[in-house]
Chain A
Amino acid sequence: MKPTVLIGQYYPVDSFFHRSDPRAKIVTLFFYFFALFMVDDLYAKIGVTVLLFIGVLIARIPLKMLLKSLKPVVFFVVLTAVLNAFMIPGEVVWQWGFLKITDAGIYQGIWMAWRLILLMISASLLTLTTTPIAFTDGLESLLKPLNMIKVPVHELAMMISIALRFIPTLMEEGERIIQAQMARGMDFHKGSLKERIKNILPLLVPFFLSAMKRADELAEAMESRGYHGGSGRTRMRVLTFTVADMMLVALMFVFLVGLFLYRWVL
């Protein structure tokens, strides 16, 4: 179904990453992002690529799913490669008027595009192996220290999880409203751009009205069930940071430090 693609696209198989604590995965991903931006020579580039490849094998996610997650960024990947190829100074390989492609440009362009691809794949490795609930729980737990500087962490996490809960419900509702307006003779595929934009209005008004009504009732229901904010509230699902999770974060950290030493010290 469509909504599951929208929200994090969790892919249910059993793997080490699927069982890992979401906090460990978020921190590891964060370290990996750092590593990606620190890399500059060929060996380091091969290093981060191999590392991600190992990650993909561990997660047992089929290649097709990973390629699918690249679809939204294909445009940016191509754009980055092309821009770099034209912009970077170096030995000219091809020239047409003032436009010229350099060898350094090609090399840099390919690497930039590849870096974007690695970035996307590593991020989807997190979303494909983590349910939206576990992800919000993990985020809430990691951000908890921000409570001290008055960031409403619990409230934000609750908002995200309610939004996730209502995405499918609201999508069904949208469908229904579109059908209802079509039954009244509305045509969404005809007319000029201006007309089409105007046609969206009769969809938005009932949609927002009903969403407001839902929000009202949900607030009543939550209050009736004793909700009083985050203080004094416990959770059924407890996140447990195991030795394996510790190892995952530690290994990634060692890799990061190694990369740092390789680039600046050795």
Chain B
Amino acid sequence: MFKLEKVYYKYHGEAGFALNGMSLTIPKGQWVAVIGTNGSGKSTFARQLNGLLLPLQGKVWVSGLDTAQEGNIPLIRRYVAFVMQNPDNQIVASTVEEDTAFGPENLGLPPEEIRERVNEALVWVGIGHLKNKSPHLLSGGQKQRLAIAGALAMHTNCLVLDEPTSMLDPQGRREVLSTIARLHQEKKMNIVHITHSMEEAACAERIVVMSEGQIVMDGTPEEIFGQESTLAELGLELPAVTMLGNRLAADGWETLRNQLETDGLVEKLCLLK
């Protein structure tokens, strides 16, 4: 689905490279979480995936389409949808259903098909009952699900989310995360989830760790969170559950090491004598 080859990118007027020769391949249907400290290039990477930013050097391919060729951009935007951090600033229209319709309207679809797609998408993310509401009356979690509905109505096969939960309360986080998980399972969508939260990263199939515009670690959550000391050097922590398990393991309960989920840890705890 995505292929990046030695991508370099530098923001105007800044000395260092935001992306420093980054290479990465993401196969179709995979759920990838991207973690890293502030300024590691995560958001820049995300914006390379739908051609919002173009590489200064190197190449980015989306479904075999080169993002540097301007003619490919409309098609790429149909394949890849983007959900941003601030839920307010990505809502265009003054009612929920009009906003969901914005993408399909840009595709030039007939009105009946747009309405059908909009209704389906809103019901799927669970805000069908709010379709005539004004977006500023929605909760943070509902606003982000509205953004996801906008992507669904486009019939995209990939969703790039740039810290979608960092401005939400715990309830909103849970809503958004479970929607992401459903997108992956039910719609077989490609997910690229940029996040600060290790708990959220642990839900993915694969974790990519970025630092100074490069990929420093790449593997399954088990592999990544098994290397506590390397992560600590990069300024990253383990998920709280894993940390707790590992501390107990250090005190002699070896079976509790590297647990990523609360349920898993509880199960192992119950097996202890």
Q: Using a CB–CB distance below 8 Å, which chain A residues touch chain B?
A: 132-133, 161-162, 164-165, 168-169, 172, 213-214, 217-218, 220-228, 232-238
Contact = CB atoms under 8 A, between A and B. Distances in A.
A161 B93 contact: yes
A169 B88 contact: yes
A236 B89 contact: no
B221 interface: no
Contacts of A162: 92
Nearest to A235: B105
Nearest to A218: B89
B136 interface: yes
For the side of the interface on B, what is the size category? 35 or more
Contacts of B103: 225-226
Given A214-B88, A225-B102, A236-B105, A165 B135 contact: yes
Main SS at interface, chain A: helix
B111 A218 contact: no
B52 interface: yes
Contacts of A217: 84, 86, 89-90
B110 A222 contact: no
B104 interface: yes
Contacts of B77: 223-226
A161 B107 CA distance: 19
B78 interface: yes
Contacts of A220: 47, 52, 82, 84
Contacts of B90: 217-218, 221
Interface in B127-153: 134-136, 150
B52 A238 contact: no
Contacts of A132: 94
Main SS at interface, chain B: helix
Contacts of A235: 101, 105, 111, 114
B152 to A, nearest CB: 12
A225 B81 contact: yes
A133 B93 contact: yes
A225 B74 contact: no
A164 B136 CA distance: 12
Nearest to B103: A225
Shortest 3 CB-CB contacts between residues of A and residues of B = A221-B90, A217-B89, A236-B101
Nearest to A7: B94
Chain B CB within 10 A, most for which of A168, A225, A232: A225
Given A236-B115, A238-B111, A227 B106 contact: yes
A224 B102 contact: no
Given A225-B81, A236-B98, A238-B111, A165 B91 contact: yes
Chain B CB within 10 A, most for which of A164, A221, A227, A236: A236
Contacts of B93: 133, 161, 165
B122 to A, nearest CB: 12
Chain A CB within 10 A, most for which of B77, B86, B93, B136: B136
B109 interface: yes
Nearest to B102: A225
B154 A226 contact: yes
Nearest to A171: B136
A226 B118 contact: no
A213 B47 CA distance: 17
